[in-house]
Amino acid sequence: MSTIVLNSLNYVGTGILNGVSYFYERASGLVNAFSVLTGRVNYGTTKTTVAYKLTVPIVQEDDSACGCAGEVVRTTIVDISVRFDRSATSAERADVLARVQDLVATTQFESSIINLAQPE
Protein backbone atom coordinates (compact mmCIF):
# COMPACT_ATOMS: atom_id res chain seq x y z
CA MET A 1 0.00 0.00 0.00
CA SER A 2 1.02 3.57 -0.52
CA THR A 3 1.68 6.47 1.83
CA ILE A 4 -0.54 9.56 1.69
CA VAL A 5 0.97 12.85 2.92
CA LEU A 6 -1.45 15.29 4.57
CA ASN A 7 -0.05 18.55 5.95
CA SER A 8 3.46 17.00 5.96
CA LEU A 9 2.26 13.97 7.99
CA ASN A 10 2.72 10.51 6.50
CA TYR A 11 -0.34 8.26 6.55
CA VAL A 12 1.07 4.80 5.86
CA GLY A 13 -1.23 2.27 4.24
CA THR A 14 -1.76 -0.91 6.24
CA GLY A 15 -4.17 -2.83 4.04
CA ILE A 16 -7.77 -3.33 3.05
CA LEU A 17 -10.34 -4.76 5.45
CA ASN A 18 -13.96 -5.35 4.36
CA GLY A 19 -13.46 -3.13 1.31
CA VAL A 20 -12.01 -0.20 3.28
CA SER A 21 -8.38 0.94 2.84
CA TYR A 22 -6.66 2.02 6.07
CA PHE A 23 -3.83 4.53 6.48
CA TYR A 24 -2.31 5.49 9.84
CA GLU A 25 -0.24 8.46 10.96
CA ARG A 26 1.78 7.23 13.94
CA ALA A 27 4.42 9.94 14.52
CA SER A 28 3.38 10.53 18.14
CA GLY A 29 4.16 6.96 19.15
CA LEU A 30 1.01 6.84 21.27
CA VAL A 31 -1.75 4.54 20.02
CA ASN A 32 -4.42 6.95 21.31
CA ALA A 33 -2.88 9.72 19.20
CA PHE A 34 -2.75 7.78 15.92
CA SER A 35 -4.66 9.60 13.20
CA VAL A 36 -6.60 7.33 10.83
CA LEU A 37 -7.51 7.90 7.19
CA THR A 38 -9.84 5.46 5.46
CA GLY A 39 -11.02 5.30 1.88
CA ARG A 40 -13.48 3.15 -0.02
CA VAL A 41 -15.30 2.88 -3.32
CA ASN A 42 -18.69 1.15 -3.23
CA TYR A 43 -20.36 0.12 -6.47
CA GLY A 44 -24.14 0.01 -6.20
CA THR A 45 -26.68 -0.90 -8.83
CA THR A 46 -27.37 2.75 -9.71
CA LYS A 47 -24.78 4.77 -7.76
CA THR A 48 -21.09 4.55 -7.00
CA THR A 49 -19.95 6.10 -3.72
CA VAL A 50 -16.42 7.29 -3.06
CA ALA A 51 -15.85 8.02 0.63
CA TYR A 52 -12.89 9.13 2.72
CA LYS A 53 -12.82 9.61 6.48
CA LEU A 54 -10.06 11.34 8.44
CA THR A 55 -10.01 11.01 12.23
CA VAL A 56 -7.71 13.35 14.17
CA PRO A 57 -7.51 12.70 17.93
CA ILE A 58 -6.15 15.35 20.28
CA VAL A 59 -4.47 13.88 23.34
CA GLN A 60 -3.53 15.34 26.70
CA GLU A 61 0.18 16.16 26.53
CA ASP A 62 0.97 16.20 30.26
CA ASP A 63 -0.65 14.90 33.42
CA SER A 64 -2.98 17.54 34.86
CA ALA A 65 -6.26 17.94 36.71
CA CYS A 66 -7.94 17.64 33.29
CA GLY A 67 -6.52 14.21 32.56
CA CYS A 68 -3.49 12.00 32.23
CA ALA A 69 -0.90 12.27 29.48
CA GLY A 70 -2.00 10.28 26.43
CA GLU A 71 -5.75 10.44 27.09
CA VAL A 72 -7.90 11.56 24.16
CA VAL A 73 -9.28 15.02 24.95
CA ARG A 74 -11.30 15.46 21.76
CA THR A 75 -11.50 14.11 18.23
CA THR A 76 -12.07 15.83 14.90
CA ILE A 77 -13.69 13.78 12.12
CA VAL A 78 -13.74 14.76 8.45
CA ASP A 79 -16.12 12.87 6.13
CA ILE A 80 -15.92 13.31 2.37
CA SER A 81 -18.49 11.40 0.37
CA VAL A 82 -19.17 11.69 -3.35
CA ARG A 83 -22.03 9.82 -5.01
CA PHE A 84 -21.89 9.36 -8.76
CA ASP A 85 -24.51 7.90 -11.03
CA ARG A 86 -23.12 4.61 -12.37
CA SER A 87 -23.19 6.09 -15.89
CA ALA A 88 -20.98 9.09 -14.94
CA THR A 89 -18.08 9.36 -17.38
CA SER A 90 -14.42 9.77 -16.49
CA ALA A 91 -14.61 13.37 -17.74
CA GLU A 92 -17.58 14.08 -15.46
CA ARG A 93 -15.74 12.58 -12.49
CA ALA A 94 -12.62 14.64 -13.32
CA ASP A 95 -14.78 17.77 -13.44
CA VAL A 96 -16.18 17.00 -9.98
CA LEU A 97 -12.65 16.43 -8.64
CA ALA A 98 -11.51 19.80 -10.00
CA ARG A 99 -14.51 21.53 -8.43
CA VAL A 100 -13.87 19.94 -5.02
CA GLN A 101 -10.18 20.86 -5.18
CA ASP A 102 -11.15 24.45 -6.02
CA LEU A 103 -13.74 24.49 -3.22
CA VAL A 104 -11.19 23.45 -0.60
CA ALA A 105 -8.81 26.17 -1.85
CA THR A 106 -11.39 28.99 -1.45
CA THR A 107 -11.18 31.60 1.28
CA GLN A 108 -14.80 30.78 2.18
CA PHE A 109 -13.95 27.14 2.90
CA GLU A 110 -10.84 28.15 4.83
CA SER A 111 -12.81 30.65 6.90
CA SER A 112 -15.48 28.05 7.63
CA ILE A 113 -12.80 25.69 8.99
CA ILE A 114 -10.54 28.21 10.76
CA ASN A 115 -13.09 30.78 11.97
CA LEU A 116 -16.28 28.66 11.89
CA ALA A 117 -17.74 31.33 9.60
CA GLN A 118 -20.80 30.76 7.43
CA PRO A 119 -19.71 31.02 3.77
CA GLU A 120 -20.88 34.19 2.03
How many CB atoms are closer than 10 A to CB 59? 19
Least confident of 49-58, 61-70, 86-95, 103-112: 61-70
Question: Could you tell me the CATH number of the domain that includes residue 74?
Answer: 3.30.380.10
Once rounded to an integer, what is the mean pLDDT over residues 65-79?
A: 84
Q: How confident is the model at residue 63 (pLDDT cuts 50, 70, 90)?
A: confident
Residue type, 110: E
Whole domain around residue 50: which residue ranges? 3-87
Which pTM does this prediction carry?
0.85
**pLDDT (0 to 100) of residue 62:** 76
User: Are 29 and 72 contained in the same domain?
Assistant: yes
**Interior angle at CA 94, CA 108 and CA 36, nearest 5:** 65
